[in-house]
Amino acid sequence: MKSGRRIIDMHVHTDDSPDADIPAADVAARAAGEGLLGIGFVAHVDFHPADRCRGAFSAEAYSRSLERAREMPGSPVLLTGIEVGEPHLFIAEAMEKADGMCLDFVTGGLHWIGERSVLDASGFAGVDPLALVEEYLRVSVEMASDASIDILAHLGVWRRGLARAGGRVDIDETRLWPGLLWRLFEAMTDRGIALEVNTAGLRRPESVTYPTASVLRFYRECGGRIVTIGSDTHSESHAFYGLSQGVEILASVGFTEAFGFRDRRPFPYPIKA
């Protein structure tokens, strides 16, 4: 998987986020070497009181870091984004923090349901996991209906926390909550919000994309067409992991193109499995 992946990886963190350690310029150089079409950089912009990235975002430092990446010779297309945690609650604060930046896109990521992190085993302690997942979907509908975001990140990332808690993750949301998913996808298509295929789950025990192929098929049946592909890279060791498999999954459920965002507007490019 070293060359010719004509993919825009729309979910790449840099050392501008406290939980990531790879400089933007290094990511750009590596992407050029691997033949990627482009990178959508994101930095965490978080306000949840218990989030480790809370308060860490600096628009100035992040902008400088992306400038250095753009100076690298032979860089692929480099797009500027932020990942706002719980945007239904914090989008206004996040946009204030990013004031002055020319953002190509804003990604919304749901990591917390109240005081419970769906990314960690502790989030599932003492609760019925299905009830928490259902609540995660309800809040996702709220996010897609209310928050000014361009991309909905890693739908189904609760599998990471549930797998860590020792729970079964072979849950088919399309069977259990088709009505909630339909409402979610209706809100997204109405508002032009893209659904991300996040490939980070492929390197974890749950070994699936977020969302799964089944949910992606349902999204397409509901009329969803705007999809992005993202590896959720945080370090050198797993940079761009699973992108080709993400494309294969998209193609297998009928998608022939994926999207990037520039100036907060989607643009398509063809994908080949």
The residues of the shown chain that bind Zn ion, judged by CB under 5 A, are 83, 109, 232
* Rg of the chain on CA atoms, in Å: 17
Q: CA-CA distance, 53 to 38, in Å (whole number)?
A: 25
Smallest distance, Zn ion to C-beta of residue 228, A: 12
- The answer to whether 230 and 197 are in contact (CB under 8 A) is yes
Q: How far apart are CA 201 and CA 237, in angstroms?
A: 15
Q: Minimal distance in Å, beta carbon 66 to Zn ion?
A: 16
Of 54 and 217, nearer to Zn ion (C-beta) is 54
Which of 248, 263, 161 has the alpha carbon at shortest distance from 206?
Answer: 161
Q: At what angle do helices 24-33 and 59-70 cross, to 10 degrees?
A: 30
**Residue 232 and residue 197: Cα distance in Å, rounded?**
10
User: Shortest gap between Cβ of 221 and Zn ion (angstroms)?
Assistant: 26
Alpha-carbon distance of 37 to 74, in angstroms, equals: 11
Q: Which pair of structure tokens corresponds to residue 210?
A: 């977020």
Residue pair 37/75 in contact (Cβ under 8 Å)? The answer is no
Q: State the nearest-atom distance from the C-beta of 20 to Zn ion, in Å.
A: 8
Q: If we measure between CA atoms, which residue out of 265, 145, 161 comes closest to residue 210?
A: 161
Closer residue to Zn ion, CB minimum distance, 20 or 222: 20
Our CB check for Zn ion shows the closer of 13 and 183 to be 13
Q: Give the residue with the Cβ less far from Zn ion, 156 or 266.
A: 156
Helix 87-97 / helix 129-146 crossing angle, nearest 10 deg: 50
Judged by beta carbon, residue 220 or residue 238, the one nearer Zn ion is 238
**Min dist. Cβ of residue 154 to Zn ion (A):** 6
Nearer Cβ to Zn ion, position 148 or 222? 148
Nearer to Zn ion, 34 or 232 (CB): 232
Query: Least distance (Å) from Zn ion to the CB of residue 107?
Result: 7
Report the residue closest to Zn ion, judged by CB.
Answer: 109
Q: Which of 134, 229, 219, 123 is nearest to 166 (CA)?
A: 123
* Residue (173 or 232) nearer to Zn ion, CB: 232
Q: What is the token pair recorded at 66? A: 């992306």
Q: In 3D, which of 202, 227, 207 has the Cα closest to residue 217?
A: 227
Question: Taking the complex as a whole, how short is the minimal distance between the CB of residue 157 and Zn ion, in angstroms?
Answer: 7
